[in-house]
Amino acid sequence: QVHVVESGGGSVQAGGSLTLSCTASGSSANTRCMAWFRQTPGKEREGVAAVGGDSTTRYADSVKGRFTISKDNDRNTLYLYLQMNNLTPEDTAMYYCAAEAICGPTSLLSEDYNYWGQGTQVTVSS
């Protein structure tokens, strides 16, 4: 079992920056493939950025060049970050951290992830 917790959301003006953090703890958590997703009311959950077991990264087109995903680990805890720059109102959403039970190709598909945090809200005002 892997326990996932996000933090770092908040409110910011357009053009600003935020950094989201996530910890994934539990058995072999530091070998997990991880990703950030976001969701707004009435819309499907969208993959934003992912990092594979070999540290390859993948980004949604809408955030390329503005968001950076990174990870670090310590024993059975994985730390995942999402640096978000040049934020726009369209980035407003609940952001979720997720982990795979078994690492496969770096994926932005929600169905590939087994463990989810409760989410952290990001609000960007114009």
65-93 tens-digit pLDDT: 999 999 988 888 889 999 999 999 999 99
Given a cut of 70, whether residue 29 has pLDDT beyond it is no
Give the range among 16-20, 23-27, 36-40 with minimum mean pLDDT: 23-27
Residues near 58 by Cβ (< 8 Å), separated by ≥ 6?
49, 50, 51, 52, 106, 107, 108
Given a cut of 60, whether residue 59 has pLDDT beyond it is yes
pLDDT of residue 104: 80
pLDDT band at 28 (very low <50, low <70, confident <90, very high): low
pLDDT of residue 26: 82
Residues near 73 by Cβ (< 8 Å), separated by ≥ 6?
29, 30, 79
Residues near 111 by Cβ (< 8 Å), separated by ≥ 6?
none
Rounded mean pLDDT of 53-73?
94
Q: Is the dihedral of CA 34, 96, 89, 15 positive or negative?
A: negative
